[in-house]
Structure 1
Amino acid sequence: MKKLINRLLPKAWRSNSVTIPVIRLHGTIMAGGSPMRPALSLASTAGLIEKAFALDAPAIAISINSPGGSPVQSRLIYKRIRDLAVEKNRKVLVFVEDVAASGGYMIALAGDEIIADPSSIVGSIGVVSASFGFPELLKKIGVERRVHTAGQNKSVLDPFKAEKPEDVERLKSLQLEIHDTFIDMVKERRGARLKDDPDLFTGLFWTGKTGVELGLVDRLGDMRTILKERYGAKTRMKLISAPRGLLSRVGPFGSRANVTPDLASAAVESILDAAQERALWSRFGL
């Protein structure tokens, strides 16, 4: 409609500016999250993605800043972006800020082009599972652990039991399957741009500058400069944001700071999520 109206106007009145929708996908990737620490997931991003692709624009710009997280949610977000890009015939430009690693890089693969800062961190094409083991702790504090299962493998990798070699082998086989899926996605999306480097799929990560040499990144730059270079000096960027809910308007504990049991539980979950998030970011020195 906008294009039609623009064509009907006298030439002197026509607008030559282009508006590019911008989606910010920043944070760790996991299902759920909490009111105080929202996470990236298909549920939290689908509305923004749909809204951006509904606009009449030649391209969609996506800003990514994520150390990764859930491979399932990463792939679901990637697939939603690609499905809409094909359906709406839109070009997708991905701009990496501090980091697009692991699941963050998986989402970045949705871009027809990936642009990064020279100092951005990209890659980490691998799968990791991290936990703690406390087999001796309960003995020291005089607590007896009681676990009853129907199915001999229901307590696999219980952190309060000694680790079994067969359990670790089972976990590694699952990781290899997920890793193969990730590798296939990279090869499909990056194709001949990838350099034949033996370290490419080992989980290592690199700067954006080296990422260009390896074919993980197309070019270096920033969103504003590249969009104006490509679509004209009058190009505008329209940030697509979610509507503010009640919680965001009155704060996490309400207008009178009434801490309900649900909010107290959410606060505890938020602390645990924060520890997990901190561990993901710290892998990349951030």
Structure 2
Amino acid sequence: MTDNLTPESGENADRPSGAAPTPQTPPSREPNWERAVLERVALAAVREQRAARRWRIFFRFAFLFVLALIAFALFDVPGEKVAVAGRHTALVRIDGEIASDKNANAEDVATSLRRAFEDTDTAGVVLQINSPGGSPVQAGMINREIRRLRSKYPSIPLYVVVGDMCASGGYYIAAAADKIYVDRASIVGSIGVLMDGFGFTGLMDKLGIQRRLHTSGANKGFFDPFSPETPAMNEHAQVMLDAIHRQFIDAVREGRGKRLHETPDLFSGLFWTGEKSVELGLADGIGDTGYVARDVIKAPRVVDYTVKESISDRIARKFGTAFGAAAVHALAGAGVSLR
């Protein structure tokens, strides 16, 4: 029977007699699986390198952006001296709320006024006001600076021209001018002081919230919005408001003099139209900036001396500086203002 067997082909034919058969390659494993694994590892490494390169590029651009902001802050100086030649009317603008962190702040307004008065070609200064009021401190500082400059440069008049509104702190400033010109529909006056805030004690009681306030000093917790008001708190606040109101009234009387027609309501916080304000002596006439420059100062050419907001300030404000300041004011509670 063995003579009829034929030898097996391939590797089994060459296998010595009695040797174990060679195992076959499993069908599920390809002959080049090692290469496929290496390719996947290499691709993963390439992707990781690309991601790391993208992050390096991102951080480099971020670093350059920060450097650019620093450069703007260092070299972008707001309110460079205006280069003019020839006789002209100098213009300074006060727009919006008067506060230390707003465009209408005492430092910038005073700088603008000084540059306007110091120019030898300035025939007269127009202070254009469109403001509902604001900080009594900032308004008082501007008022005093106007009076100082008028005394130092007696030959240069300063006139206020009112836009839509010149109320409260805005009028505190305007009272220092030689004359005040308004539009018939302007809002003028509001000579008063207010302190505003919120109280949450009733709501806290309903919600079962307890205020835990610890102070060093018996009066340190005055005006805390989460604590109830007391007679002593209200009395102290009224004394303070009356004192600031008196300062405001004195500034108006000093500035307007005999032109002022005092009535019981004049210093009550009421406001009037521009036309009525002329009757009350709060203003001197009807006119805009062009009229004052052309017909009163006799120098129709108008040059703006207003300190402009720098690019760095604009960027900082856009990225939250103004919001942060507003949040601080909100958290501070009650605040005194002329508006």
TM range, normalised to the smaller chain?
A: 0.7 to 0.9
Which residue is equivalent to 1:21? 90
AA of the residue aligned to 1:164:
T
Aligned residue for 2:195, secondary structure, equals coil
AA of the residue aligned to 1:55:
D
Aligned residue among 260, 271, 274 for 1:205: 271
Which residue is equivalent to 1:64? 129
In structure 2, runs of 5+ residues without a counterpart are: 1-85, 331-338
Which residue is equivalent to 2:109? 45
Aligned residue for 2:180, secondary structure, equals strand
- 8 Å CA contact 1:78, 1:109 repeated in 2: yes
AA of the residue aligned to 2:116:
A
Which residue is equivalent to 1:87? 152
**1:175-214 alignment, distance < 5 Å:** 175-214=241-280
**1:232-243 alignment, distance < 5 Å:** 232=298, 235-243=300-308
Cα distance change, pair 230–130 in 1 and its aligned pair in 2 (3 A): same
Q: TM-score, normalised by structure 2?
A: 0.67
Aligned residue for 1:24, secondary structure, equals strand
- 8 Å CA contact 2:127, 2:161 repeated in 1: yes
Is 2:229 the counterpart of 1:160? no
**1:139-154 alignment, distance < 5 Å:** 139-154=205-220
Cα distance change, pair 221–197 in 1 and its aligned pair in 2 (3 A): same
1:266 to partner: Cα distance:
4.1
Cα distance change, pair 271–173 in 1 and its aligned pair in 2 (3 A): closer
Q: 1:136-157, CA deviations, whole angstroms, 9 ceiling, x for partnerless residues?
A: 3334445432211111001112
1:134 to partner: Cα distance:
0.5
- 8 Å CA contact 2:108, 2:307 repeated in 1: no
Aligned residue among 138, 145, 154 for 1:73: 138
1:184 to partner: Cα distance:
1.1
Distance 2:295 2:192 in 1: 35
Distance 2:296 2:276 in 1: 24
Q: What is the alpha-carbon root mean square deviation over aligned residues?
A: 2.5
- 8 Å CA contact 1:18, 1:235 repeated in 2: no
- 8 Å CA contact 1:96, 1:116 repeated in 2: yes
AA of the residue aligned to 2:280:
L
Cα distance change, pair 39–172 in 1 and its aligned pair in 2 (3 A): farther
AA of the residue aligned to 2:96:
G
- 8 Å CA contact 1:18, 1:231 repeated in 2: no
1:109 to partner: Cα distance:
0.9
Distance 2:297 2:227 in 1: 59
Is 2:316 the counterpart of 1:247? no
AA of the residue aligned to 2:105:
S
1:272 to partner: Cα distance:
7.8
Which has the greater radius of gyration? Answer: 2
In structure 1, runs of 5+ residues without a counterpart are: 1-16, 254-262, 275-282
Point out 4+ residue stretches in structure 1 off by more than 6 angstroms: 271-274
Distance 1:264 1:116 in 2: 36
Distance 2:316 2:229 in 1: 43
Q: 1:148-169, CA deviations, whole angstroms, 9 ceiling, x for partnerless residues?
A: 1111001112111111122111
Which residue is equivalent to 1:55? 119
Tell me the matched-pair count.
246
